[in-house]
Amino acid sequence: MPVDLPAVTRPDVEARRAAVARHAELAVPDGALGRLAELGVWLAAAQGKCPPRPPSRARVVVIAGDHGITAAGVSAHPAGTTLRQVVAVHQQSAPVAVLARVAGTSVRVVDVALDHHVPEDALSSGYRVRRSSGRIDREDALSAEETEHAFAIGRRLADEEVDAGADLLIPASLGVGATTPASTLVAALTGTEPVAVIGRGSGIDDNAWMRKAAAVRDALRRGRPHIREPLTLLQVVGGADIAALAGFCLQAALRRTPVLLDGLVVGAAALVADELRLGARDWWLMAQRSPEPAMTLVGEHLDLEPILDLGVRLGDGTGAAAVVPLLQMSARLLAESVTAEDLGIA
């Protein structure tokens, strides 16, 4: 499944060096600002300037889609719950919407594969791929054409946000059953056995955990022959939402726009994007440490250390929204902190 993708440009090395040098001049002991200093340096490299601007146009883009694997009893929520979750985001009562208001971040929800009827006039937006993704333990999640379409939609969404002025992107996910294909993708791309990637997801009990492990095992058996073909792997054991998220993460890197990763579904999509283009991971940060075991594997594989350890298990961007103020603080520290020379203690 060929996709014509340009090379990813690396973040600005000179801006990074200037930021490191600037921190060395501040009137604080070496290393005293810890991760806050590291975040400021990362922002400077991403923006290509020192000191960097505090992100002021952060954007959460929630990509919603249902999954046929829900029928295997792998989730604590029944099919159809995703639509109610989407409504809660629109009504600004979902956790991500609440924190986004505090962080000054806007939230957008896009339906790519919800399992409900959509009026014809709603299809004109071009974001919807299909009604739910296939049950991956028995059938492919998508057709080849649907996979390419979903991936292209993700790239288009990233382009729209960057063109509208976004300076920080937060891809997010809503979808009952979505952590099952996400866990399958992580297992496939990291060479891990099913039992090592299964967490509690939506809050499942032991019986549901065993059903989920069996579903991942069966899906992994179907997906393993395609681990060197990232888009085909998405077609077989992924889903429309994950394919769109992979396109989103990769296109953000191609557009030189920093990204906060949060949640297992987004993490799995980022793994796929990283397989597609070397260097994409340089534009991403991992917002917070998820209790999902598969997300630990994602961080290790991408060599990304979580900024916070919040224990948030949601995939809707809640954890990342909590990190946005830290990035703003890190930029201001670099720009506004007094230097040792200013205080006459150099």
Give the domain CATH number at 142: 3.40.50.10210
pLDDT at 3: 67
What percent of the chain is predicted at pLDDT more than 90? 86
Q: Is the dihedral of CA 198, 199, 202, 203 positive or negative?
A: positive
Domain count, the chain: 1
When pLDDT is averaged across residues 118-140 and rounded to a whole number, the result is 78
Range of the domain at 180: 58-325
Distances 281 to 69, 169, 265, 275 between C-alpha atoms, Å: 29, 14, 16, 10
Q: What whole-number distance in Å separates Cα of residue 330 and Cα of residue 39?
A: 6
Is 49 part of a structural domain of the chain? no
What percent of the chain is predicted at pLDDT more than 70? 97
Mean predicted lDDT score pLDDT of the chain: 93
Give yes or no for a contact between 189 and 275, defined as CB atoms under 8 angstroms apart: yes
The residues near 7 (Cβ < 8 Å, ≥ 6 apart) are: 277, 278, 279
Q: How many residues does the chain have?
A: 346
Distances 183 to 129, 169, 195 between C-alpha atoms, Å: 22, 23, 10
pLDDT at 123: 41
The predicted-structure confidence for 170-186, as pLDDT tens digits, reads as follows 999 999 999 999 999 99
Using the predicted structure, report yes or no on whether residue 11 has a pLDDT greater than 90.
Answer: yes
Q: What whole-number distance in Å separates Cα of residue 288 and Cα of residue 279?
A: 21
Using the predicted structure, report yes or no on whether residue 120 has a pLDDT greater than 80.
Answer: no
Give yes or no for a contact between 252 and 259, defined as CB atoms under 8 angstroms apart: yes
Nearest to 246 by CA among 134, 335, 143, 150: 150
Is 215 part of a structural domain of the chain? yes
Q: Residue 244: which H helix or E strand, with range?
A: helix 240-254
Is 101 part of a structural domain of the chain? yes
Give yes or no for a contact between 14 and 285, defined as CB atoms under 8 angstroms apart: no
> What is this structure's pTM?
0.95
Is 275 part of a structural domain of the chain? yes
What six digits make up the tokens of 218?
Answer: 């069966």
When pLDDT is averaged across residues 250-260 and rounded to a whole number, the result is 98
CA 24 and chain centroid, separation? 32
Q: What whole-number distance in Å separates Cα of residue 286 and Cα of residue 320?
A: 8
Q: What whole-number distance in Å separates Cα of residue 70 and Cα of residue 241?
A: 15
Is 75 part of a structural domain of the chain? yes
Is 247 part of a structural domain of the chain? yes
The predicted-structure confidence for 82-101, as pLDDT tens digits, reads as follows 989 998 998 999 999 999 99
Q: Is the dihedral of CA 117, 78, 145, 164 positive or negative?
A: positive
pLDDT at 9: 96
Is 6 part of a structural domain of the chain? no
Is 33 part of a structural domain of the chain? no
